[in-house]
Chains A and B, each alone.
Chain A
């Protein structure tokens, strides 16, 4: 009886690992979406109001980014520091793009800033589309792998 309980547990854990891997992919997608909206917001505020970054950060809100503490750090320490805070939850290409964006933000005239925003919005959108297209495949892959891994473990232990 104990043996079967153990095997069930191993199988369940394997399935959970697969689900967590899928959840991470979904979270990354949501994060990317939220960061696109932040970038677009920054662009709009610069374009129409020439607003300073402190004001822009103070006026932005997004549930996903608030939950992970990004907004708090953004308002206190700026975009670079806030990105560091959520770096583990971001796909590397999204992080790299945003880190480059953050390093150039506020350091040039309006038109250059708008070009910078536009360039990175494009890059983030491309990454978002890629992630979104890959998500169902990834979910299927993680589910299959976890079930297979669980079953293999169970068969070996049986």
Chain B
């Protein structure tokens, strides 16, 4: 396994924070998430641990951080804020509130190469022909895994044409995917992205993150009749939980995905544990 760290991005994010928060973050070591809440304690998520500090940020400080995250142009991020996030240099910042943002969660992306393990072996054995859905609860590393698989599939020895539908600007990373045969569609909906990719890029694999609503699933289903396999992720704690979601059941029943892979990871452990099932195994 080769780990590609992201000190540059972490440093960029740190520069935006109030001095007290920055010092507390630096003392914590590698951080996955930084949470700032108005008049409440700042907390960090590091390796699955929730670290609560005694630093409290004011509304003015939070406004300033949000302003900096938006590059001083809140209006330019209005749509994404309404969707609950701000994209800052490939870091997804979750926001609460629209007119008055009361808390934010800055997720520091991690780029770890070669973590596909068993799933990657399985996909390669099938020559990446089947649609695959990766599921897990939030914060386990679905996006990290998707990013790694996209990078691995699009580089030697596979060299597949991969289209990445990056709605929130957090899946594709130019640094990690340098030299990869990846096309990236940013700022379009997943369904539209799949349609555009299929029509204009002739990909061998389409990768997108976090399929959620039934509307989205329906649109994906109608766009996904081209035979290009889709590698996607969804929130679910178990395969039963996954099938309880109508959108996921619909996608499974309509054979958009042939493989379903649940992932788990222990705190401080970069290795995933995979639970791979075929569609028939899942549905029976």
Contact = CB atoms under 8 A, between A and B. Distances in A.
B226 interface: no
Interface string B75-98: 110110000000000000000001
B: interface residue count bin: 10 to 19
A: interface residue count bin: 10 to 19
B76 A109 contact: no
Interface in A108-154: 108-110, 112-113
A50 B75 CA distance: 6
B72 interface: yes
Nearest to B63: A107
Nearest to B72: A106
Interface of B: 63, 67, 70-76, 78-79, 98-99
Interface in A27-61: 46, 50-54
A106 B74 contact: yes
A109 B71 contact: no
29 contacts: A46-B75, A50-B75, A50-B78, A50-B79, A51-B73, A52-B73, A52-B76, A53-B72, A53-B76, A54-B71, A54-B72, A78-B72, A105-B72, A106-B70, A106-B72, A106-B73, A106-B74, A106-B75, A107-B63, A107-B67, A107-B72, A107-B74, A108-B74, A108-B75, A109-B75, A109-B78, A109-B99, A110-B78, A113-B75
By CB atoms of chain A within 10 A, which of B70, B72, B76, B78 has the most? B76
By CB atoms of chain A within 10 A, which of B70, B73, B78, B98 has the most? B73
Interface string A89-119: 0000000000000000111111011000000
CB-based closest 8 A-B pairs: A52-B73, A52-B76, A106-B72, A110-B75, A106-B73, A113-B75, A53-B73, A109-B78
A105 B75 CA distance: 9
Contact of A53 (B71, B78, B79, B98): B71
B74 A51 contact: no
Contacts of B63: 107
Nearest to A78: B72
Contact of B67 (A46, A50, A106, A110): A106
Nearest to A105: B72
A83 B70 CA distance: 22
A54 B98 CA distance: 22
A107 B75 CA distance: 7
Contacts of B99: 109
A51 B76 contact: yes
A5 B70 CA distance: 65
Given A50-B75, A107-B72, 15 more contacts: A46-B75, A50-B78, A52-B73, A52-B76, A53-B73, A53-B76, A54-B72, A54-B73, A106-B72, A106-B73, A107-B74, A109-B78, A109-B98, A112-B75, A113-B75
